[in-house]
Amino acid sequence: MSEIIGYARVSTADQELDSQRQRLKAAHCQRIFEDVMSGRNFDRPGLTELLNYARDGDVLCIVRLDRLGRSLRELLDTVQLLKGRGIGLLSLEEKIDTSSAAGELVFHVFGAIAHFERRLISERTRDGIAAARARNKFPGRPRLDEARLDAAFKLIDAGLSPTQAAGQLGLGRSTVYQELKRRKASKREHAAETTAA
């Protein structure tokens, strides 16, 4: 037997849940789950409990869409999760009921928006990398300047500390320490191979 399950949320403890409760009860919700926390926090115990409780064929009822998610991304993710589990969505304010033909269309529209958003992000990333390459800039960590690194090793061999050598040559201190460590390891390996031969 499918159920209509209510979800109510307010951002702060001084806000009232009563008006949402009344509207959800009037919409014949058999059980109401609640959260008192900001919509920016998506780790909401009440919503998690509701999702654990809901079964295929149940309908999640909310007063307004912003009670379910404050951002489009959160809302899309939740709607996709509901659809995947066979749980309907009923939003009283926006008059969305996914059990109707028009409401089912809303699910598809949400899914299309999510797909479009993912493709847009992917295309922007690709365009950004291509534009950077055209300017001879390459994404990621800059390549090490071997000449400056060799100069740093010479300064260290002459008695400067790795920090001082890095500062004089405009290299990162951690980079110099890492390369110094790698250099010492390489020398040890070479010495071991020579001894073995």
Judge whether 11 counts as a catalytic residue: yes
Which residue, among 29, 30, 35, has the nearest Cα to 10 in the 3D structure?
Answer: 35
Which residue, among 54, 39, 50, has the nearest Cα to 3 in the 3D structure?
Answer: 54
Structure tokens belonging to residue 126: 């690709």
Q: How far apart are CA 161 and CA 155, in angstroms?
A: 8
Amino acid at site 30:
Q
Enter the DSSP assignment of 194.
H
User: Which of the residues 11, 38, 71, 99 is marked catalytic?
Assistant: 11
**Are the beta carbons of 162 and 180 closer than 8 angstroms?**
yes
User: In the chain, how long is the greatest CA-to-CA distance?
Assistant: 87
Q: How far apart are CA 73 and CA 70, in angstroms?
A: 9
Residues belonging to the active site: 11
